[in-house]
Amino acid sequence: MPINMNDFVSRMDLLECDPDVALKGLTDQITLTQSSLKAYCTCPHKFIYRYILCITPAKLAMPLALGSAVHKSLEYALTNYSSEDDDVLLADAIDKGLQSLDEAILGAPDSADPAELDLLSELRPSNDDTQKARAQLMAMVQGWFDTSLPQLVGPEPDVRAVEVPLKALLITDDDSRTTVTLRGKADAIVAHKPNIIKVIEHKTAGRPAYSDGAELVLDMQLLTYAFMLALNANVTLGPDERIQAVYDTLIKPQHRLGKKGFADLCTRMRDAVTADPMKYFVLDVVDLTPDLIERAEEMLQYLIQHLLRQRPCEWPQYLGSCAQYSGCPYRELCMAVGHISHVDQLLTAGHSALLHQFTSTVPHPELPKD
């Protein structure tokens, strides 16, 4: 769906450089996620494009589609872990993931308009990319069943919940006392005897995210979840139970499609993850201690107050991030208009073509509904 220009223009009005309007003046209650806070830390302009102007790339990002499809497989596996035979469960979980991947790649247009059909064709990934993603999903899910799943569920499986909404209110510690809603979703909650509750976050990546525990405890998602879990009614603890956050990372095999075809690619990827499971399946575990939760609240207080006090038109443009994260989908927009305060230039004839590469997402899909 192309950008709804009426929505886009009305949301641009939020960026007017009014000396009395900071972000906290846009709404009485502000909803943030760990993803939006991470985007703000990476580059405030990226935060504005994605979470205030609410536009996202129209072209399918295969890594995101693959990650979502793998999540579907793992969600199905954990939901049905005790009710299906292992071989049947593995086959069904892979089918769920492949179905999700195919739907993302082949998504039907809203109409049979020829121009829209042509645009959809241009936005689809190549057949080689599609086959590689399907082979990656099958290899990763099968390897995860053999390697990570037994460690996640333990010898006496007790999967408490899957896809658990998290929500917490944070009142900023300043004169405004603004109420900020933090939202997220835990992929799974699993109980381990004698007294451990594991909150699991699945990730797909090209390489391990962390080289040591010091990096992990500073992760934005972990700190946000630590604060939300401490206050969340959806995660109930017994008197002696403690919470661990588990980052369940699946590393994507990077073999390429060769002359021998798709079946050969699947075999090579499957053999690789089987031969070296420690390389492809990583579990990082952190105890959510009172000290970590206190640190999380302090960090969130500082970051959110910094975000709320500034007017969006004054937010800096992190050109260093543009160089470091060359795959940023908003890079061309930033290069075209310069500072975000000049975003209205996108409505001129010279730049309007850039907007055709994006689609409107209002409300943003990362914000769960009550």
State pLDDT tens for residues 5-29: 666 666 666 555 444 444 554 544 5
Residue 135: which residues within 8 A CB-CB, separation 6 or more? Answer: 255, 257, 262, 265, 266, 269
H-run or E-run covering 63: helix 62-79
Q: What residue numbers bound the domain in which 259 lies?
A: 152-304
- Whether 272 is covered by a domain: the verdict is yes
244 and 267 inside one domain: yes
Same domain, 12 and 90: no
- Regarding whether 258 and 166 lie in a shared domain, the answer is yes
In the structure, what pLDDT confidence band is assigned to residue 329 with cuts at 50, 70 and 90?
Answer: confident
**pLDDT reported for residue 147:** 95
> What is the model's pLDDT at position 112?
43
Question: 365 lies in a domain?
Answer: no
pLDDT 10s digits, 267-313: 999 999 999 999 999 998 888 888 888 888 888 888 888 877 776 66
Q: Can you tell me the distance from the alpha carbon of 368 to that of 370, in angstroms, rounded to the nearest whole number?
A: 7
For residue 362, the model assigns a pLDDT of 60
245 in the same domain as 159: yes
**Is residue 163 within 8 Å of residue 75, measured between CB atoms?**
yes
